[in-house]
């Protein structure tokens, strides 16, 4: 294992939801009323991670917009989960633009959830880099 190479695989929606709900009592709102809590919190987390951890390799992984294989095979999967808040839905395109501005790859594949993709990449890269899963 090469100790110089540090791969961070970030589960986008875990970080987005965490950022959004961290500001649930004192939402961050632009002058035109748009809630930017998720965008601000996600960006702050990304800056902090880059500064503190100094990854040599990094990717942000999103759940596919299309139905996943797991959901198609198991109707009960996520059956009781609430719909994504509208403020988060409207924040995702901005967050993706921020990720692209950092020149960080976005991994997102139809039919797969972020944790499936993260597990696959981690298994493929485990002997080449030190893995950090966020």
Give me the tens of pLDDT residue by residue for the chain, a chain 134 residues long: 456 788 899 999 999 999 999 887 777 777 787 888 999 999 999 999 999 999 999 999 999 876 666 655 656 555 556 788 899 999 999 999 999 999 999 999 988 899 999 998 988 877 765 655 55
pTM of the predicted protein model: 0.82
134, 19 contact by CB (below 8 A): no
Which overall architecture, per CATH, does domain 6-133 show?
A: 3-Layer(aba) Sandwich (3.40)
CA dihedral 27, 31, 34, 38 (to 10 degrees): -50
């Amino acid at each position: 294992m090469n100790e110089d190479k540090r791969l961070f695989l970030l589960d986008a929606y875990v970080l987005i939801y965490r950022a959004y709900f961290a500001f649930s009592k004192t939402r961050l709102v632009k002058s035109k009323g748009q809630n930017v809590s998720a965008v601000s919190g996600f960006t702050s987390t990304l800056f902090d991670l880059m500064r503190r951890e100094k990854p040599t390799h990094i990717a942000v992984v999103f759940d596919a917009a299309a139905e996943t294989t797991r959901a198609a095979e198991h109707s009960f999967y996520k059956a009781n989960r609430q719909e994504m808040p509208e403020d988060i839905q409207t924040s995702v395109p901005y967050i993706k633009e921020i990720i692209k501005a950092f020149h960080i790859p976005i991994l997102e594949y139809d039919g797969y959830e972020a944790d499936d993709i993260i597990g696959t990449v981690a298994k493929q890269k485990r002997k080449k880099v030190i893995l950090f899963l966020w």
